[in-house]
Structures are given as C-alpha cells and as structure tokens.
Copies of this chain bind each other. A is one copy, B any other.
Amino acid sequence: MFVLIDPTTVTPVFAQIAESIATQIATGTVATGERLPAAKDLAGSLGVNVHTVLRAYQELRNDGQVELRRGRGAVVLGTPTAEALRVAVARAATEAKAAGIPIGTLLALIRKEYES
C-alpha cells in the first residue's frame, strides 16, 4: 500500500490517506475483496498515529468503499459503486419521505440533477 502524505497542503492527513486509497480502489490498484493493511501497520509505515489511519478507514466505510470488522480488518467491497448507489438511493428516498416530498416531485428532482 503506497500512500504519500504531503505536509505542505492544508488537506488533513486522514483525508489524504482516504483519498489516496479511494483512488487506488477506483483505478483497480487494490482489487475487490482485498484486505487493506492493518491500521497499526499502515500508521507505522506512514509515521502517523493509528487513530489517523482508522479515521481514514472509517471515511472509506462511510462512502461504502470498504467494510470494517474488528479482528478482520478493512476489506474492499465487491461492488463499491453499486453499494454506494444503493445507499444513496435509500437515503434520498428516506429524506424525501421525511420531508413530505411526494414521489413525483422526488423523481423530478432526481431527473433534473441527473441531467445537469
């Protein structure tokens, strides 16, 4: 796992790590089902704290790109985009219902956003 941290930028270290890994997932540098290095190990090789790496991993989990389990580690999800889409769709539907937005209006919003 190659991650380069730029100390001169304003982007937080945990965000840099998350973005770097996300790029590697998107480009196929790290394959589906592959296990990311243990947070402790990656932290050691990067010279940062374990918590910083764990926060990066949790960012990736929130984006639906990896699955985190205690004792198992961080595993790249099989269909990251499909999973992310599922989460996004569920969220949009939930928010719309909570806001009292009818299905027709929601679909119009989606269509407009999609075509922009």
Q: Interface on A for B, CB 8 Å cutoff? A: 62, 81-82, 84-85, 88-99, 101, 103, 106-107, 109-111, 113-116
On whether the beta carbons of B81 and A97 are closer than 8 Å, the reply is no
Whether A84 touches B88, Cβ cut-off 8 Å, given contacts A103-B111, A106-B110, A106-B114, is no
Smallest CB-CB separation from A101: which chain B residue? B85
* Chief secondary structure at chain A's binding surface: helix
Can you list 13 A-B contacts (CB < 8 A)?
A: A81-B95, A85-B99, A88-B88, A88-B96, A90-B113, A91-B91, A91-B92, A92-B113, A93-B113, A96-B114, A97-B114, A103-B111, A107-B107
Q: How far is the CA of A97 from the CA of B84 in the complex (A)?
A: 12
